[in-house]
Amino acid sequence: MFNWLKKWLSPNAPAVTPAYEPESYQGFDIYPEPMAEGGQYRLHGRITRLKDGERQEYRLIRSDLLPSAEQAAELMVAKAKRVIDENGERIFD
């Protein structure tokens, strides 16, 4: 009954999307985390690696909107691989 009130009070609350398994690529771990937005899914995720016992993280957010979380997750992994290929360790600088 008061769902509209909840949405109105917290319009920027992230919608829950299914969890995806991380994918390893050239010593990095890629975590796709599609963000629900307006009935579609924004390409979003993290690239991480462990160096000298410390976890480093790079957030990858793009303007791409796709109709399903699965498509957004797949595209995120592909773009993350490209970022890794083009920049390597510099993404953490």
If you search the block for the tokens 């010593």, which residue do you land on? 27
Which among 32, 39, 33, 29 is positioned nearest to 68, based on CA atoms? 39
Beta-carbon neighbour count of residue 42 at 10 Å? 19
Give the pLDDT mean for 9-27. 72
pLDDT higher than 50, residue 5: no
The DSSP H or E segment spanning 4 is helix 3-9
In a domain, 8, yes or no: no
Residue numbers of the domain that contains 48: 17-92
In a domain, 41, yes or no: yes
In a domain, 10, yes or no: no
Chain segment 24-55, per-residue pLDDT in tens? 999 999 999 999 999 999 999 999 999 999 99
In 3-90, DSSP assigns E strands to 23-25, 28-32, 35-37, 40-51, 54-66
If you search the block for the tokens 């979003």, which residue do you land on? 44
In a domain, 88, yes or no: yes
Which among 16, 5, 18, 8 is positioned nearest to 70, based on CA atoms? 18
Whether residue 76 contacts residue 32, with contact meaning beta carbons closer than 8 Å, is answered with: yes
pTM of the predicted model, to two decimals?
A: 0.78
Domain of 74: which CATH number? Answer: 3.30.160.350
Overall number of domains in the chain? 1
In a domain, 84, yes or no: yes
In a domain, 83, yes or no: yes
